Amino acid sequence: MHWTNAIAMFILIGSGWKIYNDEVLFGWLHFPEEFTIGGEAQGALQWHLFAMWILMLNGLAYLIYGIVTGRFRRMLTPIRITEILSNIRDALRFRLGHDDLTRYNGVQKMLYTGIIVVGILQVLTGLAIWKPVQFSELAALFGSFQTARLLHFLCMTAIVAFVLVHVALALLVPRTLVGMLTGGPELDERPDPKLTTAAQDASR
């Protein structure tokens, strides 16, 4: 689900930049054409309205899975201000621990919850821009057509900022990458001695 989402986001952001360039919100901001997807406007729109299905279906499955299995409750709550503050203090002193990759710290809980909310908002503003008449009730929530566009742009900015920090931090703790590719540290109730060696080798 994570990598499906990553591919969909990559396509949506790259094609979205091309669509944005056709009618910019800010005169000083044009995305370099080399970093856009789709070639011309129509190609970018085709990519965007193709990848939106991947994002929406994958995202819906992820939300249902997270809620039904209790994963969100277990992994993302409770979010405590005191824990977040102490994480920030530890991080500034380079003492933040990553020993247990199966548990999120306070800052992770806050950011991972935040990015889910931004993702949902991004889909809703996207639908309001795509169908301002059929979904006029939804579009009205975001004010005018241009405020919906601006919100869609700001959510994109938040997602890009999140991805930059997320990737940079994952590279700082390379052990997480192995977990991301193999399904994560998840040990059987009856540990296999051969496996323990393999896992240690992998984490070196």
Partner 1 sequence: MSVRTPSPSIFRPKAGIDQSVLHENRNLLAEIDRRKILRGAVSLGALTMLTGCDVTNRGAVQSILKAVSSFNDGVQSLLFRPNHLAPTFSEAEVVKPPRFNAFYDITDLKPVDRANWKLELAGLIEDKRPWTAQQIYALPEQEWIVRHVCVEGWDYIGQWSGVNLREFLTRIGADLKAKYIMFRCADGYSGSIDMASALHPQTILATKYAREPITDPFGFPLRLRTAVKLGFKNPKWITAMEVTNTYPGGYWEDRGFNWFSGL
Please give the residue ranges that form the binding site for partner 1 (CB under 8 A).
19-20, 22-23, 34, 37-43, 45-47, 49-50, 53, 68-71, 74, 99-103, 131-134, 136, 140, 145-146, 149, 171, 174, 177-178, 181-183, 185-192, 194-195, 197-199, 201-204
CB 21: neighbour CB atoms within 10 A?
16
- Smallest separation, CB 3 to partner 1 (Å): 14
Pick the closer one to partner 1 by CB: 114 or 191: 191
Helices 106-130 and 81-92: angle between axes, nearest 10 degrees: 110
- Smallest separation, CB 194 to partner 1 (Å): 5
Pick the closer one to partner 1 by CB: 161 or 198: 198
Helices 145-172 and 175-182: angle between axes, nearest 10 degrees: 110
- Smallest separation, CB 202 to partner 1 (Å): 4
State the Cα–Cα distance between residues 123 and 59, nearest whole angstrom: 10
Pick the closer one to partner 1 by CB: 91 or 147: 147
Tokens of 29: 């901001």
| Cα–Cα–Cα angle for 21, 23, 24, rounded to 5 degrees | 70
Pick the closer one to partner 1 by CB: 148 or 159: 148
What residues contact residue 17 under an 8 Å CB cut-off, 6+ apart?
31, 35, 36, 37
- Smallest separation, CB 54 to partner 1 (Å): 10
**Phi/psi of residue 23, each to 5°?**
-155, 90
- Smallest separation, CB 187 to partner 1 (Å): 5
Among 67, 164, 78, which residue's Cα sits nearest to residue 116? Answer: 67
Pick the closer one to partner 1 by CB: 88 or 163: 163
